[in-house]
Amino acid sequence: MELKITLSGKGNGSTYSRLSFFLCILLYFWVLFNPVNGYSMKHCRIRESLNTSVLCDGRNLNAVPADIPLLVRSVNIAKNNISQIKREDFKDLTILKMLIMYSNRISHVENGSFSDLVALEQLNLAFNKLTSLSDQMFKGLDNLTVLQLENNHISSIASSSFQLLFSLKVLNLTSNKLHCFKELKHILQLPSLLKLFIGNNSLNSLQSQEISNRSIGLTELDLSRNPLEIFSVTADIFPYLKKLDLSFCGINGSMEWDVADRYFLSNVSSLDLSGIHMSLQGIGSVLQSINFSLASLGLDKIGKYNLINVACHIPTLKTLRLQCNNFSSVSDKLLQSCTQVTDLDISGNNITDLSEAAFRSIKNLKTLRLGYDGLSSVPNATRNLRTLKKLDLSHNIIKTLGCSDFSNLRRLEKLYLNNNLISKLEGCVFLDLRALNSLTLRRNRILNLGDAFTKGLQHLKSLDLGFNKLTNIRTNDFKSLRSLEDLSLYDNEIKTLEDGAFVGLAKLKNLVLLNNVIGKSEIRGAVFKGLRSLKTLNMASNAIKYEKDEQLQQPPFTDLSSLENLYIFSQHYNDLKDTKLLDLDTHSCSVDLGIFYFISTTSLVLLTLLGSFIYHLLRWQVVYAYYLFLAYLHDSKRRNRQTPHQYDAFVSYNTHDECWVVRELLPELEGVQGWKLCLHHRDFQPGKPIIENITDAIYRSRKTICVITHRYLQSEWCSREIQVASFRLFDEQKDVLILVFLEEIPDHQLSPYHRMRRLVKRRTYLSWPRAGEDTRVFWQKLQVALETRDWPAEENPILTGVERQ
Ligand SMILES: *[C@@H]1O[C@H](CO)[C@@H](O)[C@H](O)[C@H]1NC(C)=O
Ligand SMILES: *[C@@H]1O[C@H](CO)[C@@H](O)[C@H](O)[C@H]1NC(C)=O
Ligand SMILES: *[C@@H]1O[C@H](CO)[C@@H](O)[C@H](O)[C@H]1NC(C)=O
Ligand SMILES: *[C@@H]1O[C@H](CO)[C@@H](O)[C@H](O)[C@H]1NC(C)=O
Ligand SMILES: *[C@@H]1O[C@H](CO)[C@@H](O)[C@H](O)[C@H]1NC(C)=O
Ligand SMILES: *[C@@H]1O[C@H](CO)[C@@H](O)[C@H](O)[C@H]1NC(C)=O
């Protein structure tokens, strides 16, 4: 299980803030250099996936970027300052499927600009400055299915501009300056076109004989907000039309409706006549001509009561919208004929007087919307609606909820009580709502939860208590909500969470405590007890403060075995400085796998670079360090075994110098001076590993004589054996080592042999005299050196002062 913690320090230099800052910086560089991508673009981001996309939105570009890779499937250049599209802009992008260019200043498109986009399926040119669509403009877009041209200034469309768009299914021309429906003739005849949106233009008539004498395949037509004077269908050209939007059409109540045959629009199931400028008789005849299949009718802002009766006589009508019609009162009679309606929306009517029997005749009411209606209490009319599934009472002025307000709403699943003035909840209020799964009490004035959630509501899955005035959550406050999955308590004034505050919420997945004043003492294991399904805990923007290095008394989240996301960024304390300014929302840098891959790849590359650099320049030092480490290990083992000295000196030398050792050193020291030497070719035990032999030799000898030449340094000195073995020579702090230089070795040549150089700097040593010089002094000094017993070199009266020439 992966736990994601989102947090940020709050100007107190916490480790968290430094960490998040570091991650932010890394993320920034990652985005800036985008090193994981095969291609890169100067101004855009490329997201490589199955559908490689180019993201250039909102970059103040003046032209389409010239470096779009050919293998992209989606290009987003929305929200820039591009004023025209040139022929070469999208050349060769033959697999591009989606091109998004809304919100630019495009006024001109060169002919053939899209001709290579044979795979393009969606083209969005909305919110631009196009004034006309020319003949060749969309040439080549054989596979285009969705074309968005809304919010331009298009007033003319050339007759063949859409000619080859065989696959076009959806065309949005909303909010343009079209004034002649005839010009759309060619569009309507496109073989695949299903949905046409031409609302908010200047169309003043629709007359079917101008368009076609054959049927067209359109299923959805939005003509809303056009100043239509006449809507005339004299042939069955819309046999498949299902959805027709005529809202706010016409001017000055004058729109004329001429549908020659009731069967012509017999497939329309959804009709919007809201705010239509038409006489009462006019609307009446519209409703009659669509009297076969109509299931959903919009009659908002129409201000004519009698229409309700007409509409409700349509036997198939199920959904009736009557928003903003100024019925301040709803009598028993108003909806009497709407017996078959299942969804009724009478929001925004300033209803203050609602008869108790207002909905009684509606036998199968499932959804009732009474929002924005000025109700000061839950109306009696909504009780006992046994079939009701959804009740919206939001945006009223309800102050209190009574025990019988929701009585017998046994099937109610969703209840909206948001944006009211409720301050108190009684334990009895929701008891009858046995099927309720969603309750919204957002934006009220609730001070405490009372016993509202300790009994009943056992099927509730979602409870929104955001924007209230709760100050504490007490033990068992949500005890009975055993199905609850989402609990929102954001934007309250919660300061205290009692032990067991969330007891009973065994299925809770999301707990949002964002924007309260919860302090660190509330973050206790006992508070979160029982939340074993919790996946997301959001405690951002509270007052949780930990001092640097402070330890948690008791791990607070141990019960939360399913937790995946913990948000605790933006904690504010009541310090003198308002710390809000320093908020760092690390949410935006929440780390995804990509950055880990990036970091590990980068580290690997850097390590490799560093490795080869080191190998090249500092090879010897590294080899050295390695041996030193081995030596340390070995020496620690060895030191415990005290071996008596068997030899006076062990002589370490390179085979090339064996000649000198045998001819000069051996006869003098063993023969003349009488010391017992240990030489590897003579004294090492056969069959024993070389390293053992050398170590034994060093530890069994009082002194070790190193015969130093260039060759010795290169091979012997760095050999594993000598390094391991000679550890004693350096670290026992005894004057064990005698350095004999057979050749002259300048200081700079010594520098790679770091330890040797240090020795030479710290100690005195002996140099073999040049050819022809007297050797007697040398042998004398060597004898003295061999005689001294473990004195620190500095105190050796004889060796001190001996200098290398
Ligand atoms: C957009 O481009 C025009 C010239 O084409 C320029 O005058 C205008 O300032 C630009 N707008 C922005 C926001 O850069
Ligand atoms: C156009 O769409 C069809 C059907 O989806 C598809 O088979 C064909 O490959 C597409 N053409 C191109 C050029 O992508
Ligand atoms: C068409 O454009 C209008 C205006 O922008 C928008 O409200 C509507 O949702 C669009 N319709 C579709 C299907 O895109
Ligand atoms: C439809 O038929 C009428 C009468 O025959 C004719 O005047 C009209 O031009 C035709 N409309 C179209 C779009 O072909
Ligand atoms: C719709 O048709 C039915 C019969 O098919 C009829 O009784 C009813 O009055 C009609 N409604 C309207 C509004 O014309
Ligand atoms: C509703 O009443 C208000 C003022 O009382 C008026 O401005 C508005 O036009 C009325 N709406 C309708 C649809 O009659």
Q: What is the band of 419 on the pLDDT scale with cuts at 50, 70, 90?
A: very high
pLDDT tens across 74-88, in order?
Answer: 999 999 999 999 999
Q: Are 169 and 143 in contact (CB under 8 A)?
A: no
* Residue 293 Cα to ligand 2 middle (Å): 36
| pLDDT score for 739 | 84
Residue 789: DSSP 8-state: -
Give the residue whose CA is nearest to atom 10 of ligand 2. 119
pLDDT band at 596 (very low <50, low <70, confident <90, very high): confident
- Quick check: 8 pLDDT over 70? no
Share of residues in the chain with pLDDT > 70 (%): 84
Identify the burial level of 730 via C-beta atoms within 10 angstroms of its C-beta, where 0-12 means exposed, 13-18 middle and 19 or more buried.
middle
711 or 752: which leads in pLDDT = 711
Provide CB contacts within 8 A for 526, sequence distance 6+. 499, 500
Given this model, what pLDDT does residue 722 score? 67
Which is higher by pLDDT, 789 or 612?
612
Q: Which atom of ligand 1 is nearest to the CA of 60?
A: 14
> And the tokens for 794?
């500095």
pLDDT for 625 equals: 74
SS3 609: helix
The residue type found at 716 is E
Instruction: Record the tokens describing residue 492, joined without a space.
Output: 């309250």
The b-or-e profile of 232-256 (16+ CB within 10 A means b, else e) is bbeebbbeebbbbbbbbbbeeeebe
The residues, any chain, with a CB within 8 Å of residue 373's CB and separated by 6 or more, are 346, 347, 348, 349, 350, 351, 395, 396
The radius of gyration of the chain from alpha carbons, rounded to an integer in Å, stands at 45
What pLDDT does 5 receive? 56
Residue 720 binned pLDDT confidence (cut-offs 50, 70, 90): low
Q: How many CB atoms lie within 10 A of CB 88?
A: 12
Among 397, 347, 337, 396, residue whose Cα is nearest residue 367: 347
pLDDT averaged over every residue in the chain = 85
Return the residue whose CA atom lies nearest to atom 11 of ligand 2: 119
Residues framing ligand 2 (Cβ under 6 A): 118-119, 143
Structure letter (DSSP) for residue 580 = G
Write out the DSSP string of 233-249. Answer: E-S---TT--EEE-TT-
- pLDDT value at residue 13: 38
Higher pLDDT, 207 or 789: 207
| CA 610 – CA 421 distance, rounded (Å) | 67
Long-range CB pairs of 472-476 (<8 Å, 24+ gap) are 472/448, 472/496, 472/497, 472/498, 473/449, 473/497, 473/498, 473/501, 473/502, 474/448, 474/449, 474/498, 474/501, 475/499, 475/500, 475/501, 475/503, 476/500, 476/503, 476/504
Condensed to tens digits (0 to 9), the pLDDT of residues 233-270 reads: 999 999 999 999 999 999 887 899 998 888 888 899 99
Query: In Å, how far are 169, 171, 188, 217, 755 from 192, measured between CA atoms?
Result: 5, 11, 9, 7, 85
> Tell me: the pLDDT tens digits for 141-178?
999 999 999 999 999 999 899 988 999 999 999 999 99
The pLDDT of residue 593 is 67
Residue 199 reports pLDDT greater than 60:
yes
Question: Degrees (nearest 5) of the Cα angle 603, 607, 610?
Answer: 135
CA of 265 to the centre of ligand 1 (A): 49
What letter does residue 224 receive in the DSSP assignment?
Answer: T
CA 214 – ligand 4 centroid, Å? 10
Contact by Cβ (8 Å): 123, 146: yes
The average pLDDT across 21-35 equals 44
Report the C-alpha gap between 491 and 442 in whole angstroms.
10
Is residue 150 lining ligand 3, measured as CB closer than 6 Å? yes
User: Which ligand 6 atom lies nearest to the CA of residue 301?
Assistant: 13
Q: What pLDDT digit, counting tens, does each position of 513-569 carry?
A: 999 999 988 888 899 989 999 999 999 999 988 766 666 666 788 889 999 999 988
Ligand showing the shortest atom-to-Cα distance for residue 82:
1
**In which band, very low, low, confident or very high, does the pLDDT at 10 lie, cut at 50, 70 and 90?**
very low
pLDDT tens digit sequence for 422-477:
999 999 999 999 999 999 999 999 999 999 999 999 999 999 999 999 999 999 99
Contact 527, 556 (CB under 8 A): yes
Indicate left, alpha or beta for 261 from its phi (over 0: left) and psi (-120 to 50: alpha): beta
pLDDT confidence of residue 553: 62
* Ligand index nearest the alpha carbon of residue 174: 3
User: Comparing 22-36, 53-67, 455-469, which segment has the lowest mean pLDDT?
Assistant: 22-36
N- to C-terminal Cα separation, the chain:
70
Cα-to-centroid distance, 81 and ligand 1 (Å): 6
**Cβ of residue 172 lying under 6 Å from some atom of ligand 3:** yes
Residue 265 C-alpha to ligand 4 middle, in angstroms?
A: 20
Higher-pLDDT residue of 305 and 599 is: 599
Greater confidence, 67 or 546? 67
Residue 717: pLDDT band (50, 70, 90) is low
pLDDT tens column, 617-660: 777 677 667 767 777 776 666 666 666 788 888 888 888 888 88
pTM of structure: 0.68
CATH of 326-436, one of 3.80.10.10, 3.30.470.20, 3.40.1160.10, 1.10.150.170: 3.80.10.10
Q: What is the C-alpha to C-alpha distance for residues 738 and 756, in angstroms, rounded to an integer?
A: 12
Is the pLDDT confidence value at 688 over 90?
Answer: no
Q: What is the CATH number of domain 619-795?
A: 3.40.50.10140
Label residue 801 by pLDDT band (50, 70, 90). Answer: very low
pLDDT at site 549? 61
Cβ 802 vs Cβ 775: under 8 Å: no
Please state the rounded mean pLDDT for residues 21-48. 57
pLDDT at residue 110 is higher than 90: yes
Return the residue whose CA atom lies nearest to atom 10 of ligand 6.
326
Res 88: pLDDT: 93
Closest-CA residue, ligand 3 atom 7, reads 174
Mean pLDDT of the 490-506 span? 95
Residue 56's Cβ-count burial label (10 Å; 0-12, 13-18, 19+) is buried
- Give the model's pLDDT for residue 249: 95
Q: Are 309 and 334 in contact (CB under 8 A)?
A: no
Does residue 583 have a pLDDT over 50? no
Of 7-11, 373-377, 406-410, the least confident:
7-11
Integer Cα distance of 113 and 92 in angstroms: 11
What whole-number distance in Å separates Cα of residue 173 and Cα of residue 158? 15
What is the dihedral sign for C-alpha 723, 727, 731, 737?
negative
Q: How far apart are CA 419 and CA 396, in angstroms?
A: 7
Q: What is the pLDDT of residues 308-365, one digit of tens each?
A: 988 999 999 999 999 999 888 899 999 999 999 999 999 999 898 899 999 999 999 9
pLDDT 10s digits, 269-313? 999 999 999 988 889 888 887 877 899 999 999 887 778 988 999
Please answer whether residues 562 and 535 qualify as being in contact, where contact means their C-beta atoms are separated by less than 8 angstroms: yes
Left if phi > 0, otherwise alpha if psi is -120 to 50, otherwise beta: which for 271? beta
Please check whether residue 452 is in contact with residue 484, taking contact to mean a CB–CB distance below 8 angstroms: no
Q: Across residues 27-46, what is the average pLDDT?
A: 57
The dihedrals phi and psi of 209, each to the nearest 5 degrees, come to: -70, -20
576-580 mean pLDDT: 47
Contacts with 244 (C-beta within 8 Å, 6 or more apart), sequence order: 220, 221, 223, 265, 268, 270, 271, 272
What pLDDT band is residue 578 in, cutting at 50, 70 and 90? very low
Q: How many CB atoms are closer than 10 A to CB 357?
A: 15
Does residue 83 have its Cβ closer than 6 Å to ligand 1?
A: yes
Which of 374-378, 663-667, 689-693 has the weakest average pLDDT?
Answer: 689-693
Long-range contact set of residues 421-428: C-beta below 8 Å, sequence gap at least 24: 421/397, 421/445, 422/398, 422/446, 423/399, 423/447, 423/469, 424/400, 424/448, 424/450, 425/401, 425/449, 425/450, 425/452, 426/401, 426/402, 426/450, 426/451, 426/452, 427/451, 427/452, 427/454, 427/455, 428/403
What CA–CA distance (Å, rounded) separates 494 from 472?
5
Q: Of 317, 275, 320, nearest to 298 (Cα)?
A: 320
Q: For atom 1 of ligand 6, which residue has the closest CA?
A: 326
Task: Measure the CA–CA gap between 296 and 317, rounded to whole angstroms.
Answer: 6
DSSP 286: H
Q: How far is CA 151 from CA 102, 104, 173, 176, 223, in A?
A: 9, 11, 7, 6, 15
Mean pLDDT of 669-692: 81
- Domain locations along the chain: 326-436, 619-795
pLDDT at residue number 21: 47
